[in-house]
């Protein structure tokens, strides 16, 4: 049990309150800059991580403790009907230990996505990073790789990620926004995930409140074995815990 208490304390101590996100200037919706093709075929204190569930159990996401949670969307509006566009994230600020995490979005149909990243503390400022994503198929769950967009997150800085869905007439048909923050990864958590299978990493990150890395790990397990039911059931369980049961059905 001491291992998890040390991990929780290290997450709280290891954050800084300053930093800028490195990334290109915003791209116009009609340009090809930073275009990505997909679909062809002070930081809050953490909840003490729980013991990693056994492989036979789904990942259990333990949200981080926050003094004043920043809600992304009211719970009553989530999971009511299938949206056109949705970033798979909890209603509060989602955490990552990666400088260039991979996010995941649900898109109902083929189209063009514009991605913007801003510092949430300065909502009136221009976007610090922008990228264009072309989705060739839908509906489905697709990755948004910040490494492809040459974008990095600084620790301790809260960012707002916004997606806009454009139709063929270049009109915005849907928007989506989530909050993300990078936190320091304590050595104990690094040791627990190093060399572990993706499904095991997903359980460990989920129990530590590291949402985006948990979702990425279980999605990596799906990519490694697309027809295996276990990883898809694990991702469905995580997505349901984020209040998105209709999207979770895609993996059931």
H/E element holding 205?
A: helix 198-207
Topology (CATH level 3) of domain 2-251: Immunoglobulin-like (2.60.40)
pLDDT tens across 38-69, in order? 443 334 444 445 555 555 688 999 999 764 44
* Distance, CA of 64 to CA of 126 (rounded, Å): 29
Q: Rounded CA gap, 250 and 32, in Å?
A: 31
pLDDT of 240 = 96
pTM: 0.74
Q: Which residues contact 170 (CB under 8 A, 6 or more apart)?
A: 29, 30
pLDDT of residue 150: 86
pLDDT beneath 50, residues of the chain: 1-34, 36-48, 67-80
pLDDT of residue 42: 37
- pLDDT at residue 246 in the model: 93
Residues near 234 by Cβ (< 8 Å), separated by ≥ 6? 58, 59, 199, 202, 218, 221
**Spatial distance between the Cα atoms of 63 and 220, rounded to a whole number of angstroms:** 22
């Amino acid at each position: 049990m001491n291992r998890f208490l040390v991990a929780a304390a290290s997450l709280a101590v290891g954050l800084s309150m300053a930093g800028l996100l490195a990334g290109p200037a915003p791209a116009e919706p009609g340009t090809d800059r930073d275009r990505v093709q997909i679909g062809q075929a002070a930081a809050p204190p953490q909840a003490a991580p729980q013991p990693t569930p056994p492989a036979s159990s789904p990942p259990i996401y333990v949200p981080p403790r926050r003094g004043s949670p920043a809600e992304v969307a009211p719970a009553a509006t989530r999971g009511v009907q299938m949206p056109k566009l949705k970033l798979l994230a909890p209603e509060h600020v989602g955490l990552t230990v990666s400088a260039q995490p991979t996010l995941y979005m649900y898109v109902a149909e083929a189209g063009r996505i514009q991605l913007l990243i801003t510092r949430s503390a300065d909502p009136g400022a221009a976007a610090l990073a922008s990228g264009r994503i072309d989705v060739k198929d839908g509906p489905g769950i697709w990755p948004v790789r910040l490494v492809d967009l040459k974008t990095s997150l600084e620790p301790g800085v809260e960012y707002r990620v916004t997606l806009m869905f454009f139709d063929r007439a270049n009109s915005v048909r849907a928007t989506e926004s989530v909050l993300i923050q990078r936190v320091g990864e304590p050595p104990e958590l690094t040791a627990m995930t190093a060399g572990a299978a993706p499904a095991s990493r997903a359980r460990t990150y989920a129990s530590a409140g590291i949402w985006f890395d948990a979702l990425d790990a279980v999605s990596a397990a799906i990519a490694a074995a697309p027809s295996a039911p276990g990883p898809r059931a694990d991702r469905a369980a995580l997505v349901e815990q984020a209040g998105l049961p209709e999207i979770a059905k895609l993996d059931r």
